[in-house]
A = this chain, B = another copy of it.
Amino acid sequence: MIYNFSAGPAALPAPVLRQAAEELPDWHGTGMSVMEMSHRGRDFIGIAESAEASLRDLMDVPDDYRVLFLQGGATGQFAAIPMNLAQADGAADYVITGMWGKRAHGEGSKYLDRVNVAAIASPSTYVPPETHWQLTPDADYVHITLNETIQGVRFDHVPSVAAPIVADVSSMILSEPINVSDFGVLYAGAQKNIGPSGLVVVIVREDLLGRARASTPQVWNWLENAKSGSMINTPPTFGWYIAGLVFRWVADQGGVPAMAETNRRKAAKLYDAIDQSGFYANPVAPASRSLMNVPFTVAQPDLESVFVAEARSAGLVNLEGHRAVGGMRASIYNAMPEAGVDALIDFMKEFESRHG
């Protein structure tokens, strides 16, 4: 028994993996693996539509939003967003609260003449207050990262701006309620709270479709994908299927509000353990702390590799911080049971008692 704190690809719910293993060679008596099904056949269309319906239900997605299942990850969407929402002479505002926002901005800069950093948190330990944002009056969109996976910085409310908000929700989708209609576009790489890597979900308001510039690659053209049921080309069928199983598992747990209650409790006890220790530290402003990704350091930096190695031996794996920032990081997505967080806290106390 291990607990996997990987930031992504990340732990999946055990019942989902059991079902996937059972069904892998022969899905529902068809004699075929889901991997072997034509994406245009009745069986896979059923799997795909049912996954979308579950997600819409879980997130209460309004009827005037389309849900797309695409390839290329969130990093692909960093390019697809400006292409789909603005012409080359358009403008966009980026609020940067960590490394993914920075990368979204960097990629966006390749496709827009005017890409403005409306605000940047430096160091990435807080969300800059909206009153200080310097917004472009005619921006085609404002990009934010609702939860920064690397620095563990989270927006605790949706900002109020005139332009449509485009939000990267990769590491927090389905972990707490999101009011979809506050946003123009939500997008999420699957490999944290949805399923395996290789799938990115895009939720886009219909009135924002049809703005794509002519040079948008067909596989990322949101309108064309909305029209074709995300089947401009062969979609990542197996990932889409696993996503459907995860969505049903979330529903079985009581849906997103129930997940959020557990997630808040998990995060609170981990931050408490860090704050009360004097040995561990998390640098993020309390109001901006992530519920999903908890980076932390130890008083003596040379103990970090010892911590990671001893934790691994204790069955607590993938606790290394991102190579860009170092330290440790515990990603505690939906699939991480509360018992895993308890085990980590126990280990931290025990480690401190020996090394502190």
A71 to B72, CA, bound (A): 5
- Select A31's contact among B2, B74, B110, B239, beta carbons within 8 Å: B2
Contact call B239/A236, Cβ cutoff below 8 A: yes
Cβ-based interface call for A253 (8 A): no
A214 to B88, CA, bound (A): 14
Residues on B with C-beta less than 8 A from A239 are 198, 236, 238
Nearest to A111 among chain B residues (CB) is: B215
A18 to B73, CA, bound (A): 29
Contact call A75/B218, Cβ cutoff below 8 A: yes
Residues on B with C-beta less than 8 A from A196 are 35, 236-238
Contact call B237/A197, Cβ cutoff below 8 A: yes
Stretch of A20-28, A57-65, A156-164, A264-272 at the chain-chain interface: A20-28
- Over the window 288-315 of chain A, the binary record of Cβ atoms lying under 8 Å from chain B Cβ atoms (1 yes, 0 no) is 0000000000000000000000000001
A41 to B323, CA, bound (A): 12
Contact call B9/A73, Cβ cutoff below 8 A: no
Contact call B79/A4, Cβ cutoff below 8 A: no
Residues on B with C-beta less than 8 A from A33 are 12, 17
Contact call B215/A110, Cβ cutoff below 8 A: yes
Cβ-based interface call for A178 (8 A): no
Residues on B with C-beta less than 8 A from A191 are 234
Cβ-based interface call for A32 (8 A): yes
Question: Which residues of A, 177-233, contact B by the 8 Å Cβ criterion?
Answer: 189, 191, 195-199, 214-215, 217-220, 232-233
Nearest to A191 among chain B residues (CB) is: B234
Residues on B with C-beta less than 8 A from A79 are 217-219
- Over the window 65-80 of chain A, the binary record of Cβ atoms lying under 8 Å from chain B Cβ atoms (1 yes, 0 no) is 0000001111110111
Give the total of A residues in contact with B, Cβ under 8 Å.
67
Residues on B with C-beta less than 8 A from A110 are 214-215, 217
Nearest to A33 among chain B residues (CB) is: B17
A35 to B335, CA, bound (A): 13
- Select A233's contact among B1, B32, B73, beta carbons within 8 Å: B73
A234 to B74, CA, bound (A): 9
A33 to B31, CA, bound (A): 24
Residues on B with C-beta less than 8 A from A80 are 217
- A selection of 26 A-B contacts at a CB cut-off of 8 Å is A2-B32, A4-B32, A9-B36, A9-B234, A9-B237, A17-B24, A21-B22, A24-B24, A31-B315, A32-B317, A41-B318, A71-B73, A73-B233, A75-B218, A76-B233, A79-B218, A80-B217, A107-B218, A197-B235, A197-B237, A197-B238, A198-B199, A198-B236, A198-B237, A217-B217, A238-B238
A residues within 8 Å of B by Cβ? 1-2, 4, 6-12, 14, 17-18, 20-22, 24-25, 30-33, 35-41, 71-76, 78-80, 107, 110-111, 189, 191, 195-199, 214-215, 217-220, 232-239, 242, 315, 317-318, 323
- Across the A-B interface, give the 5 residue pairs with the lowest CB-CB distance, nearest first: A198-B236, A75-B233, A2-B31, A79-B217, A21-B24
